Amino acid sequence: MSISQPFTELRVWQKTRAFRNEIFQFTKGLPSDEKYRLVDQIVRSSRSITANIAEGHGKFHFKENIQSCRIARGELLETLDHLICAFDCQYISKEELKNYKSKIDIIHKMLNGYIKYLKDQGSK
């Protein structure tokens, strides 16, 4: 990894991009009365994950990049909360929620690993 490589080559960004796209497809199946409530919230939080990784990468400063990744991690967990709301409203099954949670757990670990990498690079 190098800060000179494009953010689009970061595995964590690629994984979150795939997740974001999956969430967007999921929202197409939600009831139309949720368009400006749950749909808007979940699309925004899932988009914010990749956006914050990209933004942090573009700052070329380890501490700022780490902070942006921490924000991305928060947005990831916000997305999980929205999925739990979808489950509570019976828009998704327990199995679907479990599947999304598994993907979120993987991304969470990847973000933590990337943050650790940035911390280690910044201390050199």
The 10 Å CB-count burial string (b at 16+, else e) for 17-37 is bebbeebeebbeebeeebeee
pLDDT digits (tens, 9 = 90+) for 49-103: 999 999 999 988 899 999 999 999 999 999 999 999 999 999 999 999 999 999 9
Q: Does residue 48 surpass a pLDDT of 60?
A: yes
Q: What is the pTM of this model?
A: 0.93
Of residues 123 and 35, more confidently modeled: 35
Q: Does residue 2 surpass a pLDDT of 70?
A: no
Domains and CATH numbers, the chain: 7-122 (1.20.1440.60)
Q: Does residue 3 surpass a pLDDT of 60?
A: no
